[in-house]
Amino acid sequence: MFIQQQFSLLFFLRLAKANKQTGKAPLCYRLTIDGASLDRSIKGVSLLPDHWDNTAKMVTAAEPQHKAFNKKINNLRTDLERHFDLIQAQSEIATPEGVLKASATPLRADKRKEERRDNLALSQQVDTFIGRYLKFNDKWVKAYKHNRKPYPAEQYLLEQEKQELKTGLNGLVKQANRIFDDKPWIKTVMLAVDETLIQFTLMCLGGQRSPNTLEKMWGRKKRYVDFLRYRYHTDDLALNQVEFKFAGQLLTYNISQHGMIENSAMKYVQMMKEIFTRVVSLGWLPANILEAYSCHYNDVDQEWLSMADMIRLKDHSFSREKLNRIRDVYVFSSFTGYAYAEMNSASAEDLRVGVDGKAWISKDRQKTGEDETLPLLPIALDIIERYKDDPECVRKGALLPVPSNEEYNRCLKDIGQEMGFKIVLTTHTARYFFANVVADDNGLELRITQQLMGHKSIKTTQKYVRKNKRLLAANMQTVEEKLYGKDGPLQDRTIPPASGGKVITMRVV
């Protein structure tokens, strides 16, 4: 069971031991932990009483060796505090005797240096491996895109490289476990980050996690290192030295130093909280010091096209044929709710006949793994039919002419500018259009919308479905017509009572 111990260190002159000839008294310190104390003198430091500032606990400038003596005091304080932390990090009860014994053992400092070197070496190996794995994953996805089957030679090389990665990762895990399972080893923030990344990479190789998520987590690791250097002037920090304020400081750092919006910055804090929860389960910490920090996210005032604007976009003819093709992809996304990844990987094999005898499309969301199956509306079917014999789609085995994500977003920006839209067109605005204009405005239940959009949680769907201003305006127009009639004054309307009920009157104001 973890016990929060109280540590204090007091420096003082032992006047009773003053030298009668020189008048100098030895400088001593009292180490106290939970009320238990030990007094020791500082070797080689004796002072005249007038040369000691008892308030500041420093040697005054009147002492010729005041700089050397004060440095000795500061080094002693740092050393004792560090060894107190080290003992507690090993889940041991610290005592004054134990701390003094640990500080007097030169091997402990050497061991700490060795740990730092090994931690850094492991961290670099993790970075190298993840970079190698992500490059391999790009090749794998490209080779099997649109349900394409690689040539036997290409397939053999891919399988061989995948097996080499598994072997390499197993070796990395064994090496890492030597550190992770060593209880006296001082566990640090970056060591905890690397442990999480290793476990997530194992899940990715097993097909249970998304490499895209791994890439995001890996990018956050680099930001954590930058934060530690900025705030603590170090590349790493012992887990037991992390305080509650760490979370807030990390959030502020991302906002102030990197210009991030609060929601994005909060994700870095959320990941760190999850890492600390994990290290508690590993026995590296007795409790999660960040657990009480509340990660909240601000609602983003997302906008999407109106149906009128969508129809205008659908019927518009662009001078650049590429924009017409990108427009079709965007409209397809708007009437299916499909994200970029699902559209990019969609093929004719994903089409099927549904229970109603009509055309359906079925995909698993790359992000969540949830089934995203839905009947196709006529507008989506028309777009599919338009590109059925398109040379590019036929060559790639693709359902739609979806370009790279960068080109897609660039063309959407050009489309929005030419159409004069005030909102920036993105995959998200298309999905918001589907959730609100296609689904919610037409009375679909929220759980049905959740299933159509491939969300794991209905809370995610609730963030998409917004009672927008146009819908509010339409509803208030209905209210106005009931109150005023058609272009008339405010009416005195009496609601007919039920049998035996009271008459309720709306009075003219």
Q: Clarify whether residues 26 and 140 are in a common domain.
A: no
pLDDT for position 91: 58
pLDDT higher than 60, residue 399 = yes
Residue 276 lies in a domain: yes
Beta strand 7-13 pairing with 25-33:
antiparallel
Residue 67 lies in a domain: yes
pLDDT in tens, 268-303: 999 999 999 999 999 999 999 999 999 987 766 678
Q: Clarify whether residues 274 and 163 are in a common domain.
A: yes
How far apart CA 37 and CA 33 sit, in angstroms, is: 7
How far apart CA 76 and CA 57 sit, in angstroms, is: 13
Beta strand 351-353 pairing with 359-364:
antiparallel
pLDDT for position 111: 78
Sign of torsion over alpha carbons 282, 286, 290, 293: positive
pLDDT higher than 90, residue 71 = yes
More confident residue, 1 or 372: 372
Residue 118 lies in a domain: yes
Question: Which pairs count as long-range contacts for 118-121, CB under 8 Å and 24+ apart, including other chains?
Answer: 118/179, 119/179, 119/188, 119/190, 119/191, 119/236, 120/235
CA-CA-CA-CA dihedral for 186, 190, 194, 197, to nearest 10: 140
Residue 373 pLDDT grade (very low, low, confident, very high; cuts 50, 70, 90)? confident
Q: Clarify whether residues 117 and 265 are in a common domain.
A: yes
Mean pLDDT across the stretch 470-490? Answer: 71
Q: Clarify whether residues 216 and 243 are in a common domain.
A: yes
Residue 509 lies in a domain: no
Mean pLDDT across the stretch 340-353? Answer: 88
More confident residue, 493 or 192: 192
Domain boundary pick from 69, 103, 137: 103
How far apart CA 141 and CA 120 sit, in angstroms, is: 32
Domain boundary pick from 103, 125, 150: 103
Mean pLDDT across the stretch 145-158? Answer: 85
pLDDT in tens, 442-462: 887 878 878 777 777 777 777
Q: Clarify whether residues 175 and 77 are in a common domain.
A: no
Residue 491 pLDDT grade (very low, low, confident, very high; cuts 50, 70, 90)? low
Mean pLDDT is highest, among 81-85, 89-93, 258-262, for 258-262
CATH of the domain at 393: 1.10.443.10
Beta strand 52-53 pairing with 36-47:
unpaired
Q: Clarify whether residues 196 and 158 are in a common domain.
A: yes
Least confident of 56-65, 101-110, 473-482, 489-498: 489-498
Mean pLDDT across the stretch 234-254? Answer: 94
Mean pLDDT across the stretch 347-373? Answer: 75
pLDDT higher than 60, residue 372 = no
Average pLDDT for the chain? 87
Residue 482 pLDDT grade (very low, low, confident, very high; cuts 50, 70, 90)? confident
Q: pTM of the entire structure?
A: 0.62
* CB contact set of 308 (below 8 Å; sequence gap of 6+): none
pLDDT for position 169: 96
How far apart CA 434 and CA 424 sit, in angstroms, is: 16
pLDDT for position 466: 66
pLDDT for position 366: 56
pLDDT in tens, 7-37: 999 999 999 999 999 999 999 999 999 999 9
SS3 481: helix
Nearest of 397, 395, 401, 356 to residue 375 by alpha carbon? 356
Domain boundary pick from 103, 124, 142: 103
Least confident of 165-169, 324-328, 392-396, 490-494: 490-494
Q: Tokens 């260190």: give the residue.
A: 9
The side-by-side arrangement of strands in the sheet containing 36-47 is 7-13, 25-33, 36-47
Residue 65 lies in a domain: yes
Residue 109 pLDDT grade (very low, low, confident, very high; cuts 50, 70, 90)? low
pLDDT higher than 60, residue 345 = yes
pLDDT for position 469: 54
Domain that holds residue 156: 108-282
Q: Clarify whether residues 60 and 194 are in a common domain.
A: no
Check: CB of residue 177 under 8 Å from CB of residue 158: no
Q: Clarify whether residues 425 and 313 are in a common domain.
A: yes
Q: Clarify whether residues 277 and 131 are in a common domain.
A: yes
More confident residue, 146 or 498: 146
Mean pLDDT across the stretch 410-416? Answer: 96
Residue 486 lies in a domain: no
- Percent of the chain residues past pLDDT 90, beyond the cut: 61
Check: CB of residue 57 under 8 Å from CB of residue 79: no
Q: Clarify whether residues 438 and 461 are in a common domain.
A: yes
How many structural domains does the chain have? 3
- The secondary structure of 367-431 as a DSSP string is TT--EEEEEPPHHHHHHHHHTTT-HHHHHHT-SS----HHHHHHHHHHHHHHHT-SSPP-HHHHH
pLDDT higher than 70, residue 185 = yes
Q: Clarify whether residues 338 and 459 are in a common domain.
A: yes
More confident residue, 368 or 410: 410
More confident residue, 482 or 332: 332
Least confident of 83-87, 270-274, 366-370: 366-370
pLDDT for position 508: 45
pLDDT higher than 50, residue 1 = no
pLDDT higher than 50, residue 509 = no
pLDDT higher than 60, residue 507 = no
Q: Clarify whether residues 195 and 321 are in a common domain.
A: no
